Amino acid sequence: MGLLEIKGLTKTFGGLLAVNDLTLEIHKGEIFGLIGPNGAGKTTVFNLISGMLPCTGGKVSYDGHNITGLNMYQIARKGLVRTFQLPTLFNNFTVLKNMLMGMHLHAEVGLWRTLLDTSYTDSLESEILARADGILQEVGLADRKDELASNLPHGHRRILQVAISLGCEPGLLLLDEPMTGMNVREVEEMMGLIRKLRENRGISFVIVEHNIRAVMGLCGRIAVLNFGKKIAEGTPAEISQNEAVIQAYLGGSL
């Protein structure tokens, strides 16, 4: 049984069929790639899986639980977290504060406790702070922790996005174009980070990316989407030979 099972996932917007009967299975420990031309529906698939959009049809289950129809925050609680295509951060927070927010699931305190039980909240927060520092160390942002997130260069914003999602202690991370806008060195760093996270934390990944070289280098298996439909699935080698895929990318070689 896979970690993430998607069966017959479908989404229509009015008359437009954005995602067409998608079936995928992601295994634990995998780095799975999702590619396809622009407008193929990749981000929509993420939006559907993560609960941001309701499905028109199909079923999604994570770690054995049926998560179809759940809200995004509920799905995050189960261990499935996604990042966004744009470098969405809490812009007016410092890097550290962004990270502290990321730890929300472990740091939530009720209203009454907040008002009355200072010792509990204080000790909880210092524990959270220590863990947040640890994650920032792990991703390499520790030296920038007091900077405003809005001041970060693009590459670091992407890394911070990943760091924040680590706070949830996810089992599966959906990364939406994590390397877009990065230079070669930054792409290498991100690839290294993803591998490291898989090694050290046992996190599985599904990555939507346009950087084909990175996808080929990083992913064990890849699925290709076009017009909302899966047109191919397999190893990087298989995909690069696949006729339909090459056609979809308008004759470009992979």
Binding stretches for another protein (CB under 8 A): 50, 52, 71-73, 76-77, 81-84, 88-94, 97, 100-102, 104-105, 107-109, 111, 114-115, 121, 125, 146, 148, 164-165, 167-168
Minimal distance, residue 238 CB to another protein, in Å: 32
Q: Where are the beta strands (DSSP E) in 36-158?
A: 57-62, 65-66, 80-82
Q: Whose Cβ is closer to another protein: residue 48's or residue 222's?
A: 48
Minimal distance, residue 54 CB to another protein, in Å: 14
Q: Whose Cβ is closer to another protein: residue 105's or residue 212's?
A: 105
Minimal distance, residue 212 CB to another protein, in Å: 26
Task: Please give the Cα distance from 120 to 111 (Å, whole number).
Answer: 13
Cβ distance 58 to 45 under 8 Å? no
Task: Please give the Cα distance from 33 to 44 (Å, whole number).
Answer: 15
* AA identity, residue 213: R
Minimal distance, residue 209 CB to another protein, in Å: 19
Minimal distance, residue 137 CB to another protein, in Å: 20
Q: Whose Cβ is closer to another protein: residue 101's or residue 142's?
A: 101
Angle in degrees, 0-180, between the axes of helices 154-166 and 95-102, rounded to the nearest 10: 30
Task: Please give the Cα distance from 13 to 17 (Å, whole number).
Answer: 6
Task: Please give the Cα distance from 254 to 251 (Å, whole number).
Answer: 9
Looking up tokens 């863990």 gives 131
Q: Whose Cβ is closer to another protein: residue 24's or residue 175's?
A: 175
Q: Whose Cβ is closer to another protein: residue 164's or residue 222's?
A: 164
